[in-house]
Structure 1
Amino acid sequence: MAHDVPLPAPTGAPASPGAPAPVPAPPSRPAPRGTPTVDLAARDRLVIALLLASTFVVILNETIMGVALPSLMVSLSITAVAGQWLTTAFMLTMAVVIPVTGFLLQRLHTRPVFLTAMGLFSAGTLICAAAPGFGVLLAGRVVQAGGTAIMLPLLMTTVLTLVAPTRQGRVMGNISIVISVAPAIGPSISGIILSVLDWRWMFLAVLPIALASLALGALRMPNVTEPRAASLDVPSVVVSALGFGGLVYGLSTIGEGAAAPVPAWVPLGVGAAALAVFVRRQLRLQRTDRALLDLRTFASRTFTVATAVLGLSVTALFGTLLVLPLYLQNVQGLDPLATGLLLLPGGLVMGLLAPVVGRVYDRSGPTVLLVPGTLVVSGALWSLTLTSEETPVPAVLLAHVVLSVGLALIFTPLFTAGLGALPHDLHAHGSAVVGTVQQVAGAAGAALFITVMTLGTAASDAPGVEAAAAGVRAAFLCGAVISLLAVVGSFWVRRPAAADG
């Protein structure tokens, strides 16, 4: 099979002095200018471990609010639509900030970017914990999201810089723990906390960890990348905010129907138009290496296909994370704690499998993981289309664990093969593209599943619980059909040529 050939470096962007080449690195090499002289292996382990732990904590917060919504509605005297903004605003901020991270990671050293990200997240967490009412809590969530948006691209770009391609699968396996397990166990953790404590403890429990990461980074985080001169195109920032923000907001409000502040088609239309303008402007600016988000990343077939399959997989993940708890509580009659505990085994399975998947990728490449993984995900979603009010809870648990196994096989090879197919100068932009696709796909998955579930419930002639079960089946049927596209795409993801050998 043909492998991707590494793309040439962007014109007008010569490699910075001391920047690592996209080939396996020798056991030791000079540290970038301005970095203290330390043992490189020990330094790299410290940097990656600190980034992994910090990213896990910040991404955990993306899904921690779902189970907490009923408690917040009572405590803050708000409606469900208002409460949903605690998640919508988080995703909206992420979608707006992530495209700018490509510029930040090129322009600044590792240490100040990390301190900015964890500083924002820690400040947002403190605001949330001390919030006297809904408005301040919402503001805190926005500040949290600003830090979260920076961390994942920073982690991916740093790993691609420090780790030789022949070992990237193992490290990306750890990253997939962050990306898949953190949002998967968010509902479980919030359910456990809310069963014994006030909602503020969701933030108070995280705050010491965030502050410890911030303090450790301030003391020990070295600069491991070499920044280069880069200009910020302000019109691109504005248009990207309108484009990606409009899409995420529109997708997030589809399920609200008449309760939405504006019809969903308005922000979706604005977002689509602004995104078209954004793409056209980036294509023009990247000729002189001034693009906010360099779209030459899509010149790599492996990156393009891997990103598409990733988007489909994230759609299934976030849609399931939203619909499955609703099914368990509204149809099966479980309480939030039982729901959270039932979803926990799947998250733990993903975490346990991720390092193994990384080692298999390094040895055998992506195909032996992606093809079985997408088939398993598709099979699990098809099995969930058979759920009803009489389905045994252990059968639902088994389906969720099987789904988690499939997703564990998918994420590591997609990240490693997709980003590994890019040249070094496009790693920051590739990481930003992947992060943006994740947010849009997550919002699309939530909107799609909820909308189809609502329509399916309304179309059913059955009473109460049976109608709700019919809506859940319709939502999973839609997800199962989409999963077939991921199965097809999995055959087209190849190991990058730079990783061979």
Structure 2
Amino acid sequence: MNHDTQMSNTTGGKTGEYRVVPILVSFLIAGFIGLFSETALNMALNSLIEDFGIRETTVQWLTTGYLLTLGILVPVSGLILQWFTTRQLFIVSLALSIIGTFIAAIAPSFAFLMIARVVQAMGTALMLPLMFNTILLIVPPYKRGKVMGLLGLVIMFAPAVGPTLSGLILQSLSWHWIFWVSLPFLVVALIFGMIFMQNVSTPTKPKIDLLSIVLSTIGFGGVVYGFSSAGEGGGWGEPIVIISISAGVLALILFSFRQTRMKQPMLNLRAFKYPMFVVGLLLVLTCMMIILSSMILLPLYLQTSLALSTFAAGLLLLPGGIINGLLSPVMGSLFDRFGPKWLVIPGLVLVTAALIGFSTIDLETSAAFLIAMHIILMVGVSMIMMPAQTNGLNQLPRELYPDGTAIMNTLQQVAGAIGTAVAISILSSGVENFMKNVSDVTDPLNPLLAFTSGVQDAFLFAIAVAVIGFIISIFIKRVEVEQQAS
């Protein structure tokens, strides 16, 4: 059967013909640019500090605010997906991304740029769950691995090339151009989507429960904000960190209790009754913690311990990102043929081996060793992420697709915030402990040795997460799906 036009599953009693390839292209362009601008801005933080005369703790809000918006809006996306059509949500999410990117491109002050980041995050918060939900509806289970692999190419490749491309831009142009470069692609994605995007689901318009929305906002928002604040150097003992995380956890307990008592829950937690969904979710979360903790530790080590420029650091991490992107569709096809176990378990062995390698890095570590370890890490990640995610979502019944994608995307944001915060705090305490034991504090070599020791300690945390992931992966089983279209 032609992949470009294939019969969908029935929706609301109707069967429609979907142009799968144009729909996918619309999502892939929009997703790539959205994720590219997210990491590209990280390389411009020093320029922003100088331009706006702000401190490091203030500029971090560009990342924290983005994550916080995702943490608040993505849980509600399961409800939003059931209220509006695919076309409406696609156009609104792209419009928000375009408006946010344009405001950022012309931003005369930090406040303007902060508003732009929040608007951009609103677009991304709608786009990610919509993209996964649409794929589950228009692609039959036996082909999902390959298509999810294409998504993996975008999701992993865009953040990988973001720092390198922004390093190139920043060598000769101002940080505004990071957004000016992104803008035309978003406009093209919007026009392309308006022409080809089709409605793939029928809105059921379930009842909106305001208390659930409030509890979800406080819960996920509080946890993400608390961990992000700790990761920004606030420390775990700070009142704002303790209050945010405590309030968030309490609100999430009340939210979960309320969802199980409602006839039409805002987020249907019945998805947790499906064991392979839970296993897949846990593997995706361990993967996110490893990726985001590594992605913050490696650039810091390269720029601080090895004194590389932002562009050189970006180039060093580029091969791993490119190989990961290219392998994602391959791993998706292998998943369709052989199932998840033969990919996920070896993938976690590779990830653990790479992290053990990173825990040995010092001031003399060669660029070749770092590139090799990073490539091994990213190959391993490509073997875990999409196969585990696809296998888990495949077990859900059709009516739980919006809730399953919302749960996975929300908890990825939470896991990312936790992984980053824990890695940074271990790094900081490692630096402090090293400096306490040095005999000559004035020796300029000691701060570099201390920082490297902190990075080594932080990678031990990533190894522990990988080992937990390996234990979970033993329980993964292939979800049996129909092997051909009816």
- Give the paired residue count: 471
Please give the residue correspondences for 1:251-330 in structure 2 after superposition, counting only pairs within 5 Å.
251-258=227-234, 263-285=240-262, 288=263, 290-330=264-304
Q: Is 1:459 paired with 2:433?
A: yes
Matches within 5 A, 1:354-393: 354-393=328-367
What corresponds to 1:469 in structure 2? 452
1:398 aligns with 2:377: no
CA distance in 1, matches of 2:8, 2:288: 37
**Structure 2 unaligned spans of 5+:** 439-445
Answer yes or no: is the 8 Å Cα contact 2:9–2:138 preserved in 1.
no
What is the aligned partner in structure 2 of residue 58 from structure 1? 34
| Equivalence map 1:228-267=2 (5 Å) | 228-258=204-234, 263-267=240-244
Does structure 2 retain, via aligned residues, the 8 Å contact 1:35–1:222?
no
Using the TM superposition, give the Cα deviation of residue 27 of structure 1 relative to its aligned residue in structure 2, in angstroms.
Answer: 5.0
Give the secondary structure class of the aligned counterpart of 2:289.
helix
Percent identity over the alignment? 37
User: How many angstroms apart in 2 are the aligned matches of 1:142 and 1:252?
Assistant: 16
Counterpart of 1:8 in structure 2 is none
- Structure 1, unaligned stretches of length 5 or more? 1-25
In structure 2, do the counterparts of structure 1 residues 475 and 220 end up closer, same or farther at CA, with 3 Å as the change threshold? same
Structure 1 position 255, deviation (Å): 2.9
- Maintained 8 Å contact 2:8/2:15: no
Q: Where do residues 160-175 of structure 1 align in structure 2 (5 Å cutoff)?
A: 160-175=136-151
Shift of 1:120: 0.7
Are the aligned partners of 2:274 and 2:396 in contact in 1 as well (CA < 8 Å)?
yes
Q: Structure 1 CA distance, aligned partners of 2:233 and 2:177?
A: 32
Q: In the aligned structure 1, how far is the partner of 2:289 from the partner of 2:160?
A: 13
How much has 1:500 moved relative to structure 2?
5.8
Please, which of 95, 99, 123 is the counterpart of residue 147 of structure 1?
Answer: 123
2:476 paired residue among 493, 497, 501 = 493
Q: Does 1:79 align with 2:55?
A: yes
Q: Return the letter of the residue paired with 2:212.
A: S
The Cα of 1:220 is off from its aligned counterpart by 2.6
Q: Against the structure 1 CA distance between its residues 35 and 60, is the aligned structure 2 distance closer, same or farther, given a 3 Å change threshold?
A: farther
Contact kept? 2:352, 2:463, Cα under 8 Å: yes
C-alpha distance in structure 1 between counterparts of 2:279 and 2:85, whole Å:
31
Asked if the contact 2:29–2:185 (Cα under 8 Å) also holds between the matched residues in 1, the reply is no
Return the match for 2:84 from 108, 118, 136.
108
Correspondences of 1:387-466 after superposition (within 5 Å):
387-460=361-434, 461-462=437-438, 463-466=446-449
Deviations 1:176-216 (A, max 9, x none): 12222222332222222212210011111101111111122
Q: Partner residue of 1:336? A: 310
C-alpha contact (below 8 Å) 2:163/2:311 kept by paired residues = no
> Using CA pairs below 8 Å that are at least 6 residues apart, which structure has the higher relative contact order?
1
**C-alpha separation in 2, matches of 1:348 and 1:145:** 25
Which 10-residue stretch deviates more, 28-37 or 461-470? Answer: 28-37
How far does residue 61 in structure 1 lie from its aligned partner after superposition? 2.8
- Following the alignment from structure 2 to structure 1, what is the Cα–Cα distance between the partners of residues 65 and 254? 24
Q: Distance in 2 between matches of 1:499 and 1:73?
A: 55
- Residue 420 of structure 1 contacts residue 499 of structure 1 at CA under 8 Å; is this kept in 2? no
* Structure 1 pair 499–126 and aligned structure 2 pair: CA distance change class (3 A): same
Pairing 1:28–2:11 present: no
Equivalent residues in 2 for 1:181-260, closer than 5 Å: 181-258=157-234
Shift of 1:386: 0.2
AA aligned opposite 2:347? G
Contact 1:36/1:222 (8 A) holds in 2: no
Per the TM alignment, residue 498 of structure 1 is displaced from its structure 2 partner at its CA by 2.5
Query: Per-residue displacement from partner, 1:135-166 (whole Å, max 9, x unpaired)?
Result: 01000000000000111111111111111111
* CA distance in structure 2 between the aligned counterparts of 1:76 and 1:186, rounded to whole angstroms: 23
Residue aligning to 2:467: 484
Give the TM-score of the pair, scaled to structure 2: 0.93
Return the alpha-carbon distance in structure 2 between the equivalents of residues 258 and 447 of structure 1: 10
Aligned in 2, Cα 1:30/1:454: closer, same or farther, shift over 3 Å? closer
Rounded to whole Å, the distance in 2 between the matches of 1:194 and 1:355 is: 31
Q: Which residue number in structure 2 is paired with residue 118 of structure 1?
A: 94
CA distance in 2: counterparts of 1:137 and 1:87, whole angstroms: 11
Which deviates more from structure 2 when the two are superposed, residues 27-36 or residues 89-98? 27-36
Q: Displacement, 1:263? A: 3.3
Q: For residue 497 of structure 1, report the CA deviation from its aligned partner.
A: 2.3
Q: Is the Cα–Cα contact under 8 Å of residues 255 and 454 in structure 1 kept in the other structure? A: no
Q: Distance in 2 between matches of 1:499 and 1:388?
A: 51
The two structures have a TM-score, normalised by structure 1, of 0.90
